[in-house]
Amino acid sequence: MSPLSANLNMPFAFPSLPEWLTHLETAHTKPIDLSLDRVRTVKERLEASSALTLDYPIITVGGTNGKGSTCAFLEQMLLAAGYKVGCHTSPHIIEFTERARWTGKDALESELLPYFQMVHDACEVEPGISLSYFEFTLLAIMCWFDAQKPDVVVLEVGLGGRLDACNVFEPMCSVVTNVDIDHVGFLGDTREAIGFEKAGIFRANRPAICADDHPPQRLIDHAAAIGADLKRIHQDFDFTVVQDDQRKQWRFVGEHTRRNSLAMPAMRGDYQLANASAALAALDALNEILPVPQQAVRLGLANAVVRARFQVLPGQPVTVLDVAHNPHAARVLAKNIAQMGYAPYTHAVFGAMADKDIVQVLRIMRGQIDHWHLCNLLGSRAASAEQLHDALIDAGFVEDEDHTVQKHVSVKDALTHLATTVAANDRIIIFGSFVTIEQALLGMPRMN
């Protein structure tokens, strides 16, 4: 009897996905435990029991920002080319099953339960091993993908790269979208230190794509030291925007492929061209084993959508959702707001985690916002509205008739207030963390 058959015919340790997830939130001593020995051992146990075969190419995507968008471009282009694609991303915004997509659709909760049990059983083998929430769920989702017999799997790194659980899998190609300051408590407080951590997903004699305009030297040096085939944007691949009176298009040039007359991606923001180019550079490098025709690229650009990446909701007032939570993402968001055109007032609904560089994020965004609505968020990591107010003052905010600040007990409270006070021709920017977006979507029915 196969491991899967055995698990299907026996009771699960927990009968529902929410119960599994509640258990996993406290099952390990650390929410984030950057080490590979434990997760690698459990992976090897799963391979030994044939729960994992890993007989398909894996594309691993890391970087400070743009990982989710790049994964979406890869997923949709490969799907349009006819491949069976598994895509693992994190974190989720509303439902855990957002993390596990097979052929473009989120997993069903019931589909994942046998694979959670598989990983649980592998952890229980003596000597017993404890895994973090991310480690456990990653392995379970990979076992689920494996059972579907994919043509290719796309993995988004959770945190950093070198010591992230995704790095126990051997990628055929690795992508680093960009490198900036974030998660300094785990990755270091300089671009050089963080670049080294992110370069940890590169592999010897395998393509390593870097879409950072000015990659840290330690990333370049690590690629050279291990013999990775580093491909850098503006050197080994590039994109160009072409605009005339009729329309705006762009082209991609790689080492093996050229993609001309491409429509702009469905995801808003010129910065998405760098993410799309990173995806195309990976496909260019894998052209011999995963050829993707031009029409599939066009469809992928049109179909790739990731929630809360400068997502403009329909209706008035104009409302934008963005998960921007670090200085690099804040600069991109500020630029996008500046390009939106005139609005009498711009209102920000902002909540953030306390371990982020909140002052710098607010300093970058300050010039684009007239009225601030600072929110308490759920969770022990969250900064309070009072802490956000102090950070806003430290960022140079000065209150006057046209620039105000209010504190709210929740995102829902802020949105309820705005629903009765904001003008139809104003705009609302909701940003600061994945949790902020989750609570906005759950707290305002018209946003669901």
Secondary structure of 28-54 in the HEC alphabet? CCCCCCCCCHHHHHHHHHHHHCCCCCC
Segment 319-343 mean pLDDT: 96
53 shares its domain with 133? yes
Query: How far apart, in Å, are the Cα atoms of 258 and each of 17, 292, 310?
Result: 44, 12, 28
Asked if residue 438 is part of any domain, the answer here is: yes
The one-character DSSP state at 237 is B
315 shares its domain with 299? no
At 446 the pLDDT is 53
Q: Could you report the per-residue pLDDT of 10-38, keeping only the tens digit for each?
A: 679 999 999 999 999 998 877 777 789 99
- For residues 22, 23, 29 and 32, what is the CA-based torsion angle, rounded to 10 degrees? -50
Q: Is the pLDDT of residue 1 over 50?
A: no
Contact 321, 433 (CB under 8 A): no
Q: Is the pLDDT of residue 61 over 70?
A: yes
Asked if residue 98 is part of any domain, the answer here is: yes
286 shares its domain with 332? no
- Sign, CA dihedral 414-419-422-424, equals positive
Q: What is the CATH number of the domain that holds 209?
A: 3.40.1190.10
At 6 the pLDDT is 43
Number of domains in the chain: 2
Stated as kind and residue range, the H or E segment containing 233 is none
Q: Could you report the per-residue pLDDT of 188-200, keeping only the tens digit for each?
A: 889 999 999 999 9
108 shares its domain with 195? yes
Stated as kind and residue range, the H or E segment containing 234 is none
Asked if residue 341 is part of any domain, the answer here is: yes
The one-character DSSP state at 258 is E
Per-residue confidence band for 245, with pLDDT thresholds at 50, 70 and 90? confident
Q: Where are the beta strands (DSSP E) in 74-212?
A: 85-88, 100-102, 105-106, 152-156, 173-176, 207-210
Asked if residue 251 is part of any domain, the answer here is: yes
State which of 303, 319, 353 marks the end of a domain: 303
At 443 the pLDDT is 83
User: Three-state SS for 323?
Assistant: coil
Q: Is the pLDDT of residue 139 over 80?
A: yes
State which of 277, 303, 329 marks the end of a domain: 303
206 shares its domain with 330? no
State which of 303, 319, 336 marks the end of a domain: 303
- Can you tell me the distance from the alpha carbon of 50 to that of 353, in angstroms, rounded to the nearest whole number? 40
291 shares its domain with 352? no
Q: Is the pLDDT of residue 155 over 70?
A: yes
| Beta-bridge partner residues of 231 | 209
Q: What is the mean pLDDT of the chain?
A: 95
259 shares its domain with 317? no
Asked if residue 448 is part of any domain, the answer here is: no
Q: Could you report the per-residue pLDDT of 266-316, keeping only the tens digit for each?
A: 999 889 999 999 999 999 999 999 999 999 999 999 999 999 999 999 999
74 shares its domain with 202? yes
Rg, C-alpha atoms of the chain: 22
pTM of the model: 0.94
Query: How far apart, in Å, are the Cα atoms of 293 and each of 81, 231, 243, 313, 366?
Result: 7, 21, 24, 32, 44
Asked if residue 342 is part of any domain, the answer here is: yes
Question: Helix 109-124 crosses helix 17-27 at what angle (to 10 degrees)?
Answer: 40
At 114 the pLDDT is 97
Asked if residue 88 is part of any domain, the answer here is: yes
End-to-end CA distance of the chain: 44
According to DSSP, the β-strands at 105-106 and 85-88 are unpaired
Query: How far apart, in Å, are the Cα atoms of 54 and each of 2, 51, 148?
Result: 16, 9, 11
294 shares its domain with 393? no
172 shares its domain with 259? yes
| Beta-bridge partner residues of 209 | 175, 231
Residue 335 domain boundaries: 311-443
User: Three-state SS for 243?
Assistant: strand
Look up residue 246 and give its two tokens: 């009729």
Cα–Cα–Cα angle for 125, 131, 133, rounded to 5 degrees: 135
Q: What is the CATH number of the domain that holds 413?
A: 3.90.190.20
337 shares its domain with 288? no
Segment 161-169 mean pLDDT: 97
Per-residue confidence band for 448, with pLDDT thresholds at 50, 70 and 90? very low
213 shares its domain with 145? yes
Residue in the structure block whose two tokens are 């950093």: 160
Look up residue 402 and give its two tokens: 């046209």
